[in-house]
Structure 1
């Protein structure tokens, strides 16, 4: 994963906790996430593009939790604020 965006805060044999910070306009290359729960620390807008090229845009709200199944995707911060989230990846 992109070390300028993702920072592992905790990891054991069952879960990995990752802090994500993506600046406005920034993107990440295609990468993989296991099944994960995302908790948003700030409002933001992001576009996810999967391996097939399909893109979905998501509005993120501070305090909101979202579930995502395992996926390979790239990410683009399409908003004007930093995307700041915690990802809890299941192993």
Structure 2
């Protein structure tokens, strides 16, 4: 379920080494991705956009501004540009497994 294989017209590999893979994503209003998976990643938005993200029976609408940086836990989803602007973003995917986590009390 590699995004570059299921939606190659939208995802391109910009950089890759043994520790990370950097994907550039670009779409237009109305475009949508096929279901795919990402490992733990950092997303950097290069444009403002509105999207609908779906996973199984769940769906959520997301609106992000240009220049935002977000941590994304590993996930499987499909997305659709529901706004009136292009979506342009970069995903920095981590290849190393997540460390074992010790439960934390309270917000992080």
Indicate the residue corresponding to 1:56 in structure 2: 60
Q: Which fold has the larger relative contact order, with Cα–Cα distance below 8 Å and residues 6 or more apart in sequence? A: 1
- Please give the alpha-carbon distance, in whole angstroms, between the structure 2 residues aligned to 1:53 and 1:13: 34
**Deviation of the 1:78 alpha carbon:** 0.6
Gaps of 5+ in 1: none
TM-score by length of structure 2 reads 0.81
Secondary structure of 2:35's partner? Answer: strand
Q: How many residues align?
A: 90
Secondary structure of 1:75's partner? Answer: strand
TM-score by length of structure 1 reads 0.95
- Please give the alpha-carbon distance, in whole angstroms, between the structure 1 residues aligned to 2:38 and 2:19: 14
Indicate the residue corresponding to 1:29 in structure 2: 34
Higher strand share: 1
Which among 1, 6, 12 is matched to residue 7 of structure 1? Answer: 12
Runs of 4+ in structure 1 off by over 3 angstroms are none
Gaps of 5+ in 2: 96-108
**Deviation of the 1:90 alpha carbon:** 0.4
